[in-house]
Amino acid sequence: MLRRRPPRSASADDLLTTLGRLTAQAREGAEKQRARVELAEALQREMLPAVLPGVPGLRAAATYAPARHGLDIGGDWYDGFRLSDGSLAFCIGDVQGHDVEAAAFMGQIRFGLRAVAGHAADPGEVLSRANDLLLSVDCGLFATCTFVRFDPVSWQLTSARAGHVPGIWATTDGRSGLADDPGGLPLGIMPGERYPVSRHRFATAGAFVLLTDGVVEGPSFPIEAGLTQVTRLVSANADGDPATVADVAISVAEFTGHTDDSAVLVLRFDAAPPEAG
């Protein structure tokens, strides 16, 4: 009976060669991933506005925190700009997916909203037109978004939501709550989608806060708990400057166990002037 010879033991040189090849492949993969993350970070920095607009009686501030592990950057954004009629527009959103593709899509949405807002009458129409515009490019991604318009003459805030986390309001007299207004589907899903418009007038000074779900939801936190915590902190700081309110709001993200990026946009307003008539 023939016996099989035992397999020849690999030499030390063979093992070192194999180990070196695998190490080189791993290093190459890590370097490619790091390059993609750095590119996404650069896109994010360039596309987020350095300054937000304001008017006497209303100041804005925002903050952004990258993903805890640095691999999910690129999905969240915020913006603020003046419209030709003197009103101010603000928006915040979250793109499905991450990395370079999400960062690039975020830029398309941001500039698309700016272009549409110059020709649309209210936030609902802005989101509806932006939704159809995004579907026309057929990129396969979608995004949640809240778009608001502040009229410094009427002191009225009009807003519309596309599948996004509700805003949070708090006034200096101790009242607070969620701006859980009706909304529509995220942008980029259904053609012809319509977005209800809600209206708010700030009779008392305070803060109106928009945020992304990375602030309030994660493995350690259901979204309801996160919103409750942010509401409590915003209420306790409603008389502070907008940058302070943004900082305390985004601090909740540290307790959610999240791996997502997160953003907060704060409008700090004085009491509305008495209505004429």
148-166 pLDDT tens trace? 999 999 999 999 999 999 9
Please give the mean pLDDT across all residues of the chain.
84
Burial profile 124-160: b = 16 or more Cβ within 10 angstroms, e = fewer: bbbbbbbbbbbbeeeeebbbbbbbbbbbeeebebbbb
> Where do the structural domains in the chain lie, given as residue ranges?
12-47, 50-269
User: Is pLDDT larger for residue 14 or for residue 135?
Assistant: 135
> What is the reported pLDDT for 277?
41
Alpha-carbon distance of 202 to 206, in angstroms, equals 8
Sorted by sequence, the CB contacts under 8 Å of residue 187 that are 6+ apart come out as 93, 109, 127, 130, 131, 134, 142, 143, 144, 145, 162, 163
Taking 50 as the threshold, does the pLDDT of residue 194 lie above it? yes
From CA 181, how far away is CA 256, in angstroms rounded? 24
pLDDT of residue 276: 46
Position 272 scores a pLDDT of 85
pLDDT for residue 38? 59
> At residue 205, does pLDDT exceed 80?
yes
Q: Provide the pLDDT for residue 173.
A: 95
The amino acid present at 194, given as its one-letter code, is R
Instruction: Tell whether the model's pLDDT for residue 102 goes beyond 70.
Output: yes
- What is the 3 state secondary structure string of 101-152? HHHHHHHHHHHHHHHHHCCCCCHHHHHHHHHHHHHHHCCCCCEEEEEEEEEC
CATH T-level assignment (fold) for domain 50-269: Phosphatase 2c; domain 1 (3.60.40)
- pTM, 2 dp: 0.83
Look at residues 195, 99, 104 and name the one whose alpha carbon lies nearest to residue 144.
195
Interval 60-84 mean pLDDT? 80
Residues 6 or more apart from 137 whose CB is under 8 A from it? 108
Query: What separation in angstroms does the CA of 33 have from each of 36, 94, 161, 168?
Result: 5, 22, 34, 36
What pLDDT, on the 0 to 100 scale, is given for residue 17? 64
pLDDT at 72 over 70: no
| Residue that wins the pLDDT comparison between 10 and 270 | 270
Model confidence pLDDT, tens digit, residues 10-34: 565 665 566 566 566 556 655 665 6
- If you average pLDDT over residues 71-75, what whole number do you get? 59
Percentage, residues of the chain above pLDDT 70 = 77
pLDDT of residue 154: 92
Whether pLDDT at 227 is above 70 = yes
Overall average pLDDT of the 217-228 stretch: 87
Statement: residue 238 has pLDDT above 50: yes
According to the model, what pLDDT value does residue 92 have?
A: 97
